[in-house]
Structure 1
């Protein structure tokens, strides 16, 4: 038994069951679906963000004078910087719907609890306001929102299954029944959370958000929102992908950290402050610019193919991979479980990640975190829109480096295929 056979058997025994449980987890599925469901918000306001933030000399002065900048920043404040609200609604809805319960009711209760837990009286020296601070619906509310949406929807579904509902006659219209039947469940949940809110109010933290962000979220962000953690997570995802385990559960779990970091950057950008996670978000495209494993370089290698097998792969893989779809590469070459491609699969995430880390440690450039484009947008387009020419050059360098890493291994596979084809022609 060779090294790859032993490695695969070990992965099948240890990693595969864990990955399978993650894949089947309704909580992971709800988180992934909930985050995907916020895409209409981030992409829907992309044009506005670009308009407000165009790095053209004199443009900022013009739109500020016309009031466009003011309106655009307000829009970003309640969309991109208010992402926690949309996540709470969508995660709770997806979880409850997956359990066969009323998703809208679960989402409404989750949102109500999320807002209820926020402090709404702001006291200061000489002033007293009644308002919700924007930070609680932004970067400081995302982790709390995730926890509240999952816990509230889990409790809601369990209480529904215990049939704790208001019984109404069949003659009552279904719309009324659906609205009133969970009223006892809502009363129980809001009462319990009111007690929780009070306990946090009398604690040294003052509210749930301060407690959570101090005790839980801060350590997670301290270690998780680092360049090393980003590289490690996506390298591990590549290993899983090589062995046929889809990386989406791993990436979806880590996406909570990336979303918090991105939202914090947007808030800082809108306030004219330095981006707290500049390096991390710039590096994100370096480790994930054409799907897990950065396989665009491998697709580009097909332009130099000798064998008919890999010449035919050119039309199948290159165009999809330009648009960040790499399943045709992973399954078509195949890369998955192909010993020749194991080493470059790992290196093509690790090396660009280290390159991005080095560049962002040595240099800074204008980066607009509020610009969000569809995930199928070619990475070099996204890089140029977010960071202009410097970011574009960094991504081009990453593509070039990964192409050089893939090429000798591709050449080995291509030569094998070519020799097999030649032998087949002789036999014919």
Structure 2
């Protein structure tokens, strides 16, 4: 029976390693995916710093929140949030183009600035008149209280001459719309960053550059070298903008948002998304491939816009599913599916520290205890190991799947609130991260997740520990016999 099971396991491993992993790894290591993966890192400091400002502008305690509003400090924190987390797509487009061109061996900063210029060029530089929204929801004061109803606004506008109505209701031009600089522009930022990085590198590789004499300082020469690729890219972007405006009365960013981003968010933010994300990380890790790196680099394109959208709703005081809040966000992935490490292995840590009898599990448990608090479990993955270990495969796969589905259900049925968009660093310990990303209810749920992990891992860990102990006793007996 054991030989038959081992043979079956060997066939599965061979199939995965020969048929599944090669194309996945080939995709993950493509220039575009590497650029997105490494380029998004440049946005991380602004996301985390912006999250702090987001918390301060909407402090969880009502008495503190009211005091900040009345003192005017909430407005200052809002300004800081808007200029950091609120323009996440700006950091993304710059970082992605920068990394792509840098990996190709060319000076990256001119390409990054070209991508930023293209990102601005391809969107309408206008916002709707504030009165357009006021006609529907009314005029509010600094505290968010409606002081003039939408009906009253509409009645007063209707009394004005038609020409004046048209003038004051027309869009405000020559301004950036921060809606498209935030989460709603993320997919467009990724696409533009990649296209500019690719085209800029291709032109530089073909020698499309202005070469100045050697006597010219290199800092000046490099900028002239970038002039032709940047000029070609920006001219092409101008023509694209003109085409969308002339034939669709829209711009590229709005088109991408409607055609690509909204469907992508719908797929990721679903029961199917919860299942796929919950299973994908342990699946790759089980076969020795960095599951967090693979899934994170792909999923971030879907989940970061969800995070940014929830942050905007939280900041506006409208964080509900009815208002369009998302259930699955980047924090759902970081702070639940990967809580205490891939596979949510805290239950296994608790067993090895307090209940293990074999020396192997005791030793690795002492090593893993502190890293697990900060959501790091590579010592377990490779040292226990969990990689290619059939004895612990069931809880390793099952725990994140159960947690993913149950967390989704608790939010979907309004037992837990949607995640607020605060980006707690992935090393933030459990319970604390729950409080930051969703308040006291989410902190309690994270604690219960730790209990679930313990209950699921204990019986399998106990069986594996028994096997290791018998093996150690057998080896000790054999060594003693050899010495005698």
Aligned counterpart in structure 1 of residue 373 of structure 2, from 295, 309, 322: 322
Q: How many residues align?
A: 428
Alpha-carbon spacing, 1:173–1:296, altered in 2? closer, same or farther (3 Å): same
Distance 1:36 1:297, change over 3 A: farther
- Which residue of structure 2 lines up, in the alignment, with residue 101 of structure 1? 106
Q: Which residue number corresponds to residue 261 of structure 2?
A: 217
Structure 1 stretches of 4+ moved >6 Å: none
Q: 1:47 to 1:237 in 2, by over 3 A?
A: closer
Deviation (angstroms), 1:191: 1.0
Q: CA RMSD in A?
A: 1.8
Give the conservation status (yes or no) of the 8 Å contact 2:94–2:113.
yes
Q: Which moved more, 1:19-28 or 1:312-321?
A: 19-28
Report if the CA contact (8 A) 2:269-2:326 is conserved: no
Once the two structures are TM-superposed, the CA of residue 123 in structure 1 deviates from its matched residue by: 6.0
Return the TM-score normalized by structure 2: 0.85
Q: Is 2:412 the counterpart of 1:361?
A: yes
Pair 1:286 & 2:336 matched: yes
Deviations 1:185-238 (A, max 9, x none): 111111111111111111225111121111122211111222431331231221
Structure 1: runs of 5+ lacking an equivalent: none
Correspondence list, 1:64-75, <5 A: 64-75=69-80
The higher radius of gyration belongs to 2
* Aligned counterpart in structure 2 of residue 117 of structure 1, from 115, 122, 128: 122
Match of 2:243 among 191, 199, 216: 199
Does the 8 Å contact 1:262/1:277 carry over to 2?
no
Alignment of 1:38-53 (within 5 A): 38-53=43-58
For residue 299 of structure 1, report the CA deviation from its aligned partner: 1.3
Give the whole-Å Cα distance in 2 for the aligned partners of 1:267 and 1:34: 23
TM-score (norm 1): 0.95
2:325 corresponds to: 277
Q: Is the 8 A contact 1:53 1:368 kept in 2?
A: no
Gaps of 5+ in 2: 1-5, 130-165
Q: Deviations over 1:248-277 (max 9, x none)?
A: 122211111110000011111122223433
In 2: Cα distance, 1:201 partner to 1:230 partner: 38
Q: Could you tell me whether the CA contact under 8 Å between 2:126 and 2:177 is conserved in 1?
A: no
Matches within 5 A, 1:228-247: 228-247=272-291
Q: 2:297 aligns with which of 229, 233, 252?
A: 252
